[in-house]
Structure 1
Amino acid sequence: MRTSHIAVLFFVLMPIFSLAQNNNTYGVLPSANINYKLPRDWFTNINAESRQELYKNDFNYAYKLTELSLGAGTKVGLRTKVAAGYQLGIANREVFHRFIQQVSHVNKFTSFTLAHRLQTDQTTQKDEDSEYRIRYRLSAEVPLSGQTTDPREFYLKFSNEYLNSIQSGEYDLEIRVTGFLGYVFTPKTKFEIGIDHRIDAFIHDEIRNRFWLGLNFYRSI
């Protein structure tokens, strides 16, 4: 592995090694993403994701959450996009509504791609105070064959995200670290499997660690 690959890997995985592993939860996090390209550099995205808990102090299956998202955006530069969307969430028979705004920028280097994403969202739910969040994610994609990822080839993808939230006047921070192995079936279809590690409850409670087996399907039309 090249020195640049090692540096990127160290940066995105650093929070895992710096925090104690307390209050752990394990589960599965499958998702499907459909992207539609529109004229004049516009695009839309449909996403469906479910969260299924398998272990929390004991083995016990629990279906935690379903999220359905619809977004649209456009390119505002050679490598920059802006987008907005709506997300419907269903958790424990309760429904929440989330409104999302984001800007993303991609830098392509010789042997890997680095992407930045800044996102804000506002969540409303019956009998609950609104929640406001701002999050920043840095992700890197590294081809395992050559300098670009082509069909029938594997790649690695890592990300590190910091999610700040305020609800009922209380602030919290969640750190997300992911590592995925991806495979490109065709120029428009790919699949990823890996670990999504989320750490939160820093401020008011015992640190909570959640480890999800991520299964991500992507299709462009």
Structure 2
Amino acid sequence: MIKNILFLLLFVLCCQPKIFSQANLEIGFLPKVVFAHKLNSKTKWINSLETRQIIYDKNFQFTHNLIDFSSIYSVKTSSNQSFNFGYILRFRREETIHRTFQHYNFVNQFSTYKLGHRLALEQFYQSKKQTTYRTRYRLSVEKPLQGERVDVKEFYLKLGNEYLYDFTDLEIRCTPYLGYQVSKKDKIEFGFDYRAGNLFQKETDKTLWFRTTWYISL
């Protein structure tokens, strides 16, 4: 089963650029830091800071794209299920965007890997613009590169495939990451975040981000 899932994710990632002949391409950096604080055995509070810097957009020119501040209240309802309720404040050029979202997370733990699902609803609020909505589904696989579980000072592989629909158009994301468990309190993931948007249009929007995420448990 794990081989089939990995093959599917890699197939989507490799074949996506060939499906659409015309596209606008951006390449950039996507660093992020996440702070998680456990409130009790079932709830935790998660805050993060993320920025985007573009290094290629029709030509090579470094530009700052946006910055996100997010806060999430997560409730664990069972050993493998949880709900997230969150808010994101986004500054993009001269725009300020407010986003609220709700996540349902479900994780299957197998002997040597984890299979995760996330269903999400999102609401976007901007001044002088109508409120917009979006749905998301993400499938992810996480597997240690040594043994049956990830221990301190060990690497792991995480592959993700996500579909985003705003009721007018579709976006697909593929995210192959390599993770490293630095200590019991923090870990780092780095890899690629490939996105193909406006798939129902003649010209698609494509971005390739070099992503680094630092997770810190307080």
TM range (shorter): over 0.9
Q: Number of aligned residue pairs: give it.
A: 214
**What is the alpha-carbon distance in structure 2 between the residues aligned to residue 20 and residue 44 of structure 1?**
38
Q: Does 1:190 align with 2:187?
A: yes
Choose which of 195, 199, 202 in structure 1 pairs with 2:199: 202
**What is the alpha-carbon distance in structure 1 between the residues aligned to residue 8 and residue 36 of structure 2?**
29
Which stretch has the larger CA shift, 88-97 or 10-19?
A: 10-19
Q: Does 1:29 align with 2:30?
A: yes
Runs of 4+ in structure 1 deviating by more than 3 angstroms, as ranges, are none
SS at match of 2:203: coil
What does 1:28-177 align with in structure 2 at a 5 Å threshold? 28-166=29-167, 171-177=168-174
Residue 85 of structure 1 aligns with an amino acid whose one-letter code is: G
Q: What residue number does 2:176 align with?
A: 179
Q: What residue number does 1:13 align with?
A: 10
TM-aligned CA deviation for residue 203 of structure 1: 1.8
TM-aligned CA deviation for residue 75 of structure 1: 1.0
**What is the alpha-carbon distance in structure 2 between the residues aligned to residue 220 and residue 14 of structure 1?**
34
**What is the alpha-carbon distance in structure 2 between the residues aligned to residue 177 and residue 20 of structure 1?**
12
Deviations 1:149-171 (A, max 9, x none): 000000110000000114xxxx0
Unpaired runs of at least 5, structure 1: none
TM-aligned CA deviation for residue 6 of structure 1: 3.0
Query: Normalized against structure 2, the TM-score is what?
Result: 0.94
TM-aligned CA deviation for residue 13 of structure 1: 2.3
**What is the alpha-carbon distance in structure 1 between the residues aligned to residue 84 and residue 76 of structure 2?**
9
Deviations 1:92-118 (A, max 9, x none): 121010011111011111111111111
SS at match of 1:60: strand
Unpaired runs of at least 5, structure 2: none
**What is the alpha-carbon distance in structure 2 between the residues aligned to residue 220 and residue 73 of structure 1?**
14
**What is the alpha-carbon distance in structure 2 between the residues aligned to residue 80 and residue 103 of structure 1?**
8
**What is the alpha-carbon distance in structure 1 between the residues aligned to residue 53 and residue 59 of structure 2?**
14
Q: Does 1:218 align with 2:182?
A: no
SS at match of 1:76: strand
Which stretch has the larger CA shift, 112-121 or 5-14?
A: 5-14
Which stretch has the larger CA shift, 185-194 or 20-29?
A: 20-29
RMSD, aligned CA: 1.3
Retained in 2: the 8 A contact 1:13–1:160?
no
Query: Normalized against structure 1, the TM-score is what?
Result: 0.93
Retained in 2: the 8 A contact 1:5–1:142?
no
Matched residues, percent identical?
34
SS at match of 1:186: coil
**What is the alpha-carbon distance in structure 1 between the residues aligned to residue 15 and residue 129 of structure 2?**
33
**What is the alpha-carbon distance in structure 2 between the residues aligned to residue 40 and residue 5 of structure 1?**
31
TM-aligned CA deviation for residue 205 of structure 1: 4.2
**What is the alpha-carbon distance in structure 1 between the residues aligned to residue 173 and residue 132 of structure 2?**
19
